[in-house]
Amino acid sequence: MYRSFLEPAMDFDDASVLVTGGTGSFGRRFVRLLLERCRPRRLVVFSRDELKQSEMREALQAVLDADTFRRLRFFIGDVRDRARLELAMREVDYVVHAAALKQVPTAEYNPYECLRTNIGGAENVVWAALRNQVRKVIALSTDKACNPINLYGASKLASDKTFVAANNLSGDLGTRFSVVRYGNVVGSRGSVVPFFRRLAEQRSETVPITDPRMTRFWITLDQGVNFVQSCFALMRGGEIFVPKIPSMRIVELARAMLPWARQEVVGVRPGEKLHEMMISEDDSRSTVDLGDRFVIEPVFAEWERTSFAAEGFPRVPDRFAYASDTNDEWLDGAGLQRLLRETPA
């Protein structure tokens, strides 16, 4: 089943919004769609790459009217720099934290850099949001944070814990923090889809496959953006929101994109799982089913909130786990082609 995840809609009209990692795949799409749907007072793109900011500014200026474009702000900064974050978040109402070091091999080879950005950066975002009395913060996570076996996943798990626990610190400031966790994004930088697309354009006779058994969750950029926007409307603080999305076997993905190519098994890379998981059996004890998504509720909540379970939403079954190989929903070739048509090349 294809889900848009746009409901419930969040009204960002006349609000000030900041996106860390705003020049990444998610950030660019989030900014574009938010400006198409809402009239924010100010939309801040916070990132450390001046070239990407310049390219993004030029691309948006070419398609936006003058009144919409003037609402944009581009801040050079690094989430490792707490003081710069504090300045950037002045008078900001909502924050989307998308900045992270995401490449598994890079994190394994450069562990301290990964920790400084993904864990230290998370702490700095929390601190800056509290200092500026931001209303709501949503941090983007990953399926690799559930039962992690690599440093990237472990660092994002620590980040998730940081944002959930941050609700204990807000007191009468009222700032609320939540997390969104989802799987592979079709067409994002570093994903296998752009790589397979390049091979298809080259009419490659072979396509590398890590392992024939491998499965992954898949979501489009637009679905990811919609999901984050709708979670802003739902969040009470401390939740980890998980969308219900389909799985696909890597061999089927390769066959759908390069049907003529011979598949060559090259082996699983260090730190890579055969299957990804977004909710573990241990998490299931505090997980609620909202219909189009799951919510892992905080196991402790020293702040005022009403649980979804208390409102009558059903808990998931005992020993439930949400994993890509045991998923109830699967993508076939036709379903993948639909997602690809919605994904910019």
Active site residues: 144
Phi and psi dihedrals of 93, rounded to 5? -95, -40
- Rounded CA gap, 160 and 169, in Å? 15
Query: What 3 state SS string does the chain have?
Result: CCCCCCCCCCCCCCCEEEEECCCCHHHHHHHHHHHHHCCCCEEEEEECCHHHHHHHHHHHHCCCCHHHHCCEEEEECCCCCHHHHHHHCCCCCEEEECCCCCCHHHHHHCHHHHHHHHHHHHHHHHHHHHHCCCCEEEEECCHHHCCCCCHHHHHHHHHHHHHHHHHHCCHHHCCEEEEECCCEECCCCCCHHHHHHHHHHCCCCEEEECCCCCEEEEECHHHHHHHHHHHHHHCCCCCEEEECCCEEEHHHHHHHHCCCCEEEECCCCCCCCCCCEEECHHHHCCEEECCCEEEECCCCCCCCCCCCHHHCCCECCCCCCEECCCCCCECCHHHHHHHHHCCCC
Residue 237, phi then psi, degrees to nearest 5: 115, 125
Amino acid symbol at 89: M
